[in-house]
Structure 1
Amino acid sequence: MKLTTEQIECINQTLVKKGVKFDDLKMEVLDHIASQIEYEMATTQKTFPEAYNQVFERWNAEFEPTRAFFSLRIYYPKIARSKFGNQIKLEIFTTITIAAVLFFSFQLVSDSNTKLQFIFWIKKVFFYAYIGTILSMFIFKFFNAKSKVSSTYKHSFDARFPSIFIWLTLIFNDNIPQDTTNQNLFVLSMGCLFMYLLSTVYLGFKHYQFQKKFSIQ
């Protein structure tokens, strides 16, 4: 049994009251809850209010306020924190992979001069990646500012925007570590920073993609 527009809006308003205010997450949860209510109404002959109450009772634990990552004052529903957590886990896994590839590639180089050249090229690639990321961020900021659509992607992207400029000193620092320990640490840190740049552009693009989809709907 398909829900009416009014019934779907009732679910939507309930999600807002429960703190689910990111549009991408709200659409995802609303779809699941609406499907479960439709199933209950079709299989048990319950009315909409009865099925609505039963399904939301099952979801109550997901709406419990939970402290946001890296914050002492901001709280999200548990389901939102879980989505941010999944994104962080993916980034950590990818960071470890990129850093490990760079690190082990660096270990295959035995000659000290070649190692210095290896680091020099990493710094050069990182410089262009950084400039490309800055330009991309401003472009996404421009397009995303025109939309009132909220998403978990935009929230994470906006939180990272100021911190990207902290690395300006690293970008324009020409010093290259000379001892082996610091060279290894430098290569590992470059792997982490590469991932930070990639994921920041990814978040901006995902919000832009989502708002296009949202506006069509």
Structure 2
Amino acid sequence: MKLTNQQITTIEQTLVLNGVVYDDIKLELLDHIATEIESIIDESQFSFEENLKKVFAKWKNELTPSSSFWIRNNKSIPKIVIQKSIKMIQHVFLMSFCLGLGTAVAITLIFKSNANQEVLVVLNTLLRVMGILGIVLLIYAKFRLWQSKQESTYSYLFNQNGFLQIFNLVLIATGLFRFKGNTAFFDFHFMSTFFPITLLFISGFYLNIAFKHIKFENKIKVI
């Protein structure tokens, strides 16, 4: 049995009442739950409302209010949103660590082969420019999300964690975090190369999360 528009609206309203206000998760769950109800409604003698309660009971664990140490938030939201957000955070930090380490090694090799002040000045200037560019892009992304009429896990995570990266970028843009011209891989100075680069990558990946929201919003407008 195909569900009516009113029944689908009822499912959506029930999701919102359970805290699912983020459109990407809401659309995904709406499709799953509607499909489940359609598959059992012909086989059972229960009404739509009874089947609705039965299916939502299966999703009770995912819809339970939750929070996480990894997300700056002062309220509980559905566990399914937290889980998706944590997966994105893990991706951000894992990729930033690997790319930061690889880039830091490459820069150290550059210093090893050409250890002069001019190279150091050029790389530090490039680092500061990247920091300034990152600040501008973060502010732009924040403005675009503020204008957005949609909510998603992407906008949620960027607003909670991503925009804070502007403070790290200020330290880079002002030169407080800078390269020391290290030529070894196992000393304190190597961290002065690895650390700011990793922060840049973290900011870049959070920017990508913000732009994923914008892409999602444009997709919704087309639909």
Report the TM-score when normalising by structure 2: 0.82
User: d(CA) in 2 for partners of 1:6 and 1:209?
Assistant: 29
1:17-36 per-position Cα deviation (integer Å, ceiling 9, x unaligned):
11111112111111111121
User: d(CA) in 2 for partners of 1:118 and 1:40?
Assistant: 68
- Shift, 1:206, TM fit: 1.1
Q: Quick one: which of 166, 169, 182 aligns to 1:167?
A: 169
Matches within 5 A, 1:17-28: 17-28=17-28
Q: Does 1:177 align with 2:180?
A: yes
What secondary structure sits across from 1:173 in the alignment? coil
Structure 1's 115 and 188: CA in aligned 2 closer, same or farther, altered over 3 A? Answer: farther
Which 5+ residue runs of structure 1 have no aligned equivalent?
none
- Shift, 1:153, TM fit: 1.2
Point out the more displaced range, 34-43 or 170-179: 170-179
User: d(CA) in 1 for partners of 2:52 and 2:123?
Assistant: 56
Structure 1's 151 and 53: CA in aligned 2 closer, same or farther, altered over 3 A? Answer: same
User: d(CA) in 2 for partners of 1:138 and 1:110?
Assistant: 34
Point out the more displaced range, 111-120 or 29-38: 111-120
Q: Is the 8 A contact 2:108 2:181 kept in 1?
A: no
Which amino acid counterpart does residue 191 of structure 1 have in structure 2?
A: I
Which 5+ residue runs of structure 2 have no aligned equivalent?
none
User: d(CA) in 2 for partners of 1:115 and 1:154?
Assistant: 44
1:62-103 per-position Cα deviation (integer Å, ceiling 9, x unaligned):
111112334473211111110111101111220121022123
Tell me what 2:87 maps to.
86
Q: Is the 8 A contact 1:12 1:26 kept in 2?
A: yes
Tell me what 1:58 maps to.
58
Q: Is the 8 A contact 2:128 2:175 kept in 1?
A: no
Matches within 5 A, 1:187-202: 187-202=193-208
Matches within 5 A, 1:12-161: 12-44=12-44, 47-68=47-68, 69-71=70-72, 73-106=74-107, 108-109=109-110, 111=112, 113-114=114-115, 120-159=121-160, 160-161=162-163
Q: Is the 8 A contact 2:71 2:157 kept in 1?
A: no
User: d(CA) in 2 for partners of 1:102 and 1:154?
Assistant: 29
Structure 1's 82 and 170: CA in aligned 2 closer, same or farther, altered over 3 A? Answer: same
- Shift, 1:208, TM fit: 1.2
Q: Is the 8 A contact 1:127 1:171 kept in 2?
A: yes
Structure 1's 187 and 57: CA in aligned 2 closer, same or farther, altered over 3 A? Answer: same
Q: Is the 8 A contact 2:128 2:172 kept in 1?
A: no
User: d(CA) in 2 for partners of 1:95 and 1:115?
Assistant: 28
Q: Is the 8 A contact 1:144 1:208 kept in 2?
A: yes
User: d(CA) in 1 for partners of 2:218 and 2:38?
Assistant: 28
Structure 1's 7 and 101: CA in aligned 2 closer, same or farther, altered over 3 A? Answer: same
User: d(CA) in 1 for partners of 2:116 and 2:94?
Assistant: 26
What secondary structure sits across from 2:74 in the alignment? coil
Which amino acid counterpart does residue 188 of structure 1 have in structure 2?
A: F
- Shift, 1:183, TM fit: 2.3
What secondary structure sits across from 1:189 in the alignment? helix
What secondary structure sits across from 1:124 in the alignment? helix
- Shift, 1:143, TM fit: 3.2
